[in-house]
Amino acid sequence: MENPLNHLTGSQWLYWTNSLYPTNFPPDVTHQLRKRHGAIKPPELMAEIIAFFTKEGELVLDPFAGVGSTLLGAALEQRRAVGIELNADWIRIFREISATFSVGEQGIIRGKAGREIKGFMIHGDCLEELKKIPSAQVAAIITDPPYGCDHRVTFTQETNFSMYNPGETQDLGNAPDFPAYLAKMGVFAREAFRVLQP
């Protein structure tokens, strides 16, 4: 019987059936650049998630891409990847990483001796950019949406996270209240569903 989801072995599938999953990966060689964002995910973790939900060559989308950890994970697993990001600073960091690093046998390496990091980053509002993607083209959407308006004050006081775009009306995290945030997330969810493969 063919596995329509991924190319994992039976033992790899069994590992993924655990209720708890370790996420404490050591910092990789791109960490110094990526940590400017604050709320980053280990590319190795993203690679494992991507390997479970997609097959080699399929398209992965991160509509709230930040500095591109999902795109780096896709590069590790030889998937095509597109990210959408409002903040041009985060896109510049991803492009610097793509220009400085490559994918080697053991992960991301400094220099261009490995495979090119080919993820493509779009600067824009995901609610608008998703409309440009044809229906049923994306194998997986892997992201963490903007933190809601209710958490903005406590996050900036309690963390060094710098992912907020104050005054940027397109940033879903700047919604005036929780119902407005949920309404925008609903628009996002409908477009996400449309672009996903059945």
User: Each residue of 181-190: pLDDT tens digit?
Assistant: 889 889 999 9
pLDDT for the residue 47:
95
Residue listed under structure tokens 């790899």: 12
On whether residue 174 sits in a domain, the answer given is yes
User: Each residue of 166-179: pLDDT tens digit?
Assistant: 566 667 676 778 88
Query: How many domains does the structure of the chain reveal?
Result: 1
On whether residue 12 sits in a domain, the answer given is no
User: What single DSSP character describes residue 68?
Assistant: -
pLDDT for the residue 17:
72
Q: Would strands 107-110 and 101-104 be described as parallel, antiparallel, or unpaired?
A: antiparallel
User: Which residues of the chain have a pLDDT value below 50?
Assistant: 153-156, 158-161
* CATH value at residue 32: 3.40.50
pLDDT for the residue 155:
46
On whether residue 16 sits in a domain, the answer given is no
On whether residue 62 sits in a domain, the answer given is yes
Region label for 111, one of left (φ > 0), alpha (ψ between -120 and 50) or beta (otherwise): left
Phi, psi of 180 (to 5 degrees): -65, -40
pLDDT for the residue 168:
67
Largest CA distance in the chain: 53
Please count the residues of the chain: 198
Give the domain range for residue 123: 25-195
On whether residue 177 sits in a domain, the answer given is yes
On whether residue 31 sits in a domain, the answer given is yes
pLDDT for the residue 149:
55
pLDDT for the residue 172:
66
CA distance 100 to 110: 6
On whether residue 133 sits in a domain, the answer given is yes
